[in-house]
Amino acid sequence: MKRIFFGIALMLCSITALSQVPPFVGFTPVPNPPSTSTNTTNPFQIWEMERQAQIMAVERQASQNAKTKREVMLAIREMKQYIINALGQDIDEALRKQLNEDYVALSKIAENVQTYGLKDEYIDKLLWISDNINNNIVSFINRTAESQINEVETKPQKWTGTGFALNYRYIATNYHVIENAKTLSVTGINGNFNIRYSASVVASDKVNDLAIVRINDSRFNGFGTLPYGVDMQIAEVGENVFVLGYPLTQTMGSEIKLTNGIISSRTGFQGDASLYQMTAPIQPGNSGGPMFNSKGNVIGVVCAHHAGAENAGYAIKTSYLNNLADSYSLYGIFPTCTNNSRLTLSEQVKRLKQYVFLIECSR
């Protein structure tokens, strides 16, 4: 009877693992979350850790010996409840059929024990069912996890971020937007999301989270004259700013989004001098987008928000983007500053949004 209670608890920990093993959620860069992703933690490891921890508790409980008909009936009831719980999970037809058969067999044993009392043959059958249920559950967990791994390995991971036009064919964005991407495409040029242009990374700075990509597609005819400049001067606290980008496209759609606020600090997270802190709200997917000043010139590259504070976002100062271009000998790629302050905010957005793009990445 000691084995019965050990087997029951072992099964209970198995079904706990079945329901708690998370899906592969894995690679989630600050840009828009990937549509298909992997987890850096292997689900086998999660299941084994939980299983072993519970087995240790079971071994203490297993020292109790069941000697009465009441204890046996209690064991049968626990096993039947376990099966009911398992049948409520997302399981395949093979396991469902096996569990239903075991449930019927348990009911038959309970009937016999009630009628004829405790017999060795009933105990042996109970132990066999306990082992059978546990083995079937473990087998299902293993083949399900293997199936998930195979599915993840065969499907490409995809995610998106934001970028904005520079002179010629160049686009500025964040390093973490393009990190580990095998393919890049740019869409939303001139507001057209039906055409995707292939692009490649030509300059990157992991430390300062910046990257410059170039459109390689032969169909691309250029951006034309850009209606804004890239201002390398340090902005002042209290200056009005606004952000354009493509946050959370899976739920918010691909229309460009506007947020605005002020510069609240000339340093960023933990006093980082390469960043501005701003009050304009940003979301995953805004990464790599431009932060404009009231004149309609780019003064920062949006990169992150403070998870523990409201209205605290960060943008990398454009002087660091200039340093990156210089280090790769990309001269003349920054447009000259203009003054659009005479325009209303909505007029500026209408003029500038044609040059802020959705960057699509996959690996």
307-323 mean pLDDT: 91
DSSP result, 265-290: ESS-GGG-TTEEEE-S---TT-TT-E
Same domain, 18 and 47: yes
107-111 mean pLDDT: 88
26, amino acid identity? G
pLDDT tens digits, residue range 325-337?
Answer: 999 999 999 999 9
What pLDDT does residue 235 have? 95
What pLDDT does residue 168 have? 92
Same domain, 244 and 262: yes
28 domain-assigned:
no
Rounded CA separation 300/320 (Å): 9
On the question of pLDDT at 307 being above 80, the answer is: no
Same domain, 203 and 261: yes
What pLDDT does residue 24 have? 25
On the question of pLDDT at 357 being above 80, the answer is: yes
What pLDDT does residue 28 have? 30
E strand segments, the chain: 158-165, 170-173, 183-187, 197-205, 210-215, 240-245, 257-265, 275-278, 290-293, 298-305, 313-317, 356-362
pLDDT band with cut points at 50, 70 and 90 for residue 12: very low
144 phi/psi in degrees, rounded to 5 = -70, -45
More confident residue, 231 or 68: 231
On the question of pLDDT at 111 being above 70, the answer is: yes
CATH number for the domain spanning 215: value is 2.40.10.120
Place of tokens 């044609």: 354
What pLDDT does residue 92 have? 81
159 phi/psi in degrees, rounded to 5 = -155, 170
Q: At what angle do helices 69-87 and 2-20 cross, to 10 degrees?
A: 20
333-345 mean pLDDT: 92
Nearest Cα residue to 114 out of 74, 81, 65? 74
More confident residue, 80 or 230: 230
Rounded CA separation 18/86 (Å): 9
Dihedral sign computed on CA atoms, order 209, 289, 211, 300: negative
Number of independent structural domains in the chain: 2
Dihedral in degrees, nearest 10, Cα atoms 346, 255, 304, 281: 50
On the question of pLDDT at 263 being above 70, the answer is: yes
Supply 304's token pair. Answer: 């992150």
Same domain, 71 and 132: yes
On the question of pLDDT at 363 being above 80, the answer is: yes
Same domain, 227 and 241: yes
What pLDDT does residue 110 have? 86
165 domain-assigned:
yes
Q: Among residues 122, 154, 186, which one ends one of the domains?
A: 154
pLDDT tens digits, residue range 33-90?
Answer: 554 444 443 444 434 444 444 444 443 343 344 567 787 888 888 788 778 877 777 7
Same domain, 220 and 347: yes
What pLDDT does residue 59 have? 37
> From the CB of residue 97, how many other CB atoms can be counted at a distance below 10 Å?
11
Average pLDDT, the chain: 80
